[in-house]
Amino acid sequence: MSTVGSAHNVRVLGSGETTVVLGHGYGTEQSVWKHLVPHLVDQYKVLLYDNMGAGSTNPDYYDFDRYSSIEGYAYDLIAILEEFNVRKCIYVGHSLTAMVATAASIFRPDLFHKLIMIAASPRVVNSSGYYGGFEQKEIDQIRAGMVKNNVVHDLGRATLIVGCDMDSEAAQEFSRTLFNVRPDIALSVFNMVHTYDMRPFLAQVTVPCHIIQSSKDICVPQSVGEYLHKNIGGKSIVEVMSTEGHLPHLSAPEVTIPVLLRHIHLDIAE
């Protein structure tokens, strides 16, 4: 396997003509797609990869300067797609990677047929005329907690993010992958996620976007999905699921997987 492929633990499954690429969010790994993959491999070629900095990647490859902006991740994604000769893929991205793919689609729209965005946000922090879900002082408090005691702080946040109690399989799985991230890398990614602002660039997005959200998500309020829908330059559609939590594909697969499959199979009507 190439250097790019091995660094990101790229796996290609299935043998369909169309490629579905699955991108995981902060604190998770490609294993988060375990409920979706079995439904895809008979019809599609499926490409899974790990974001640099995930606990499943080599921390020595994490470049703190490169990954201080969303562009670093977007260039990684483009390199992966080029290395594996992927064109016009269906990209399913959760949270951070949904916006990473959005940036990549501006640079290289030829690589994407459509984006399926789960719990995506162009900006996390509230500002004048925009509600992202968090005040800056809340972000500062979370950051201070991570610096003081990363494990204890993340354990408390994990259950809130997933929307399940700590005894649930989903919360335990998310905690496992979250704690696999080296603390200094976790803080670096946290800082990037809570400072980037993709709002000025949404009008440049021409790839169709399927925006999928939980009805209750402490990280991404429903208004954010509507904001994306109104400001993306190309075609878009929003669907709010009756799920709770930021990782519905992990915590509520019985509801989420059928929704994802429908958006993968069907394009936005003209």
- Known catalytic residue at 217: yes
Encoded amino acid at 99, one letter: M
End-to-end CA distance of the chain: 40
Tell me which of 50, 217, 249, 251 is the catalytic residue: 217
Tell me which of 24, 76, 95, 249 is the catalytic residue: 95
Closest to 122 measured CA to CA, from 50, 226, 206? 226
Separation of alpha carbons 246 and 95, rounded Å: 8
What is the 8-class DSSP label of residue 245? S
Tell me which of 24, 94, 246, 249 is the catalytic residue: 246
- Known catalytic residue at 110: no
> 103 burial class (0-12, 13-18, 19+ CB within 10 angstroms)?
buried
Separation of alpha carbons 64 and 68, rounded Å: 6
CB 14 within 8 A of CB 45: yes
- Known catalytic residue at 188: no
Phi, psi of 112 (to 5 degrees): -125, 135
Contacts of 102 (CB under 8 A, 6+ apart): 115, 117, 120, 122, 198, 201, 202, 205, 209
Give the catalytic positions in this structure: 95, 217, 246
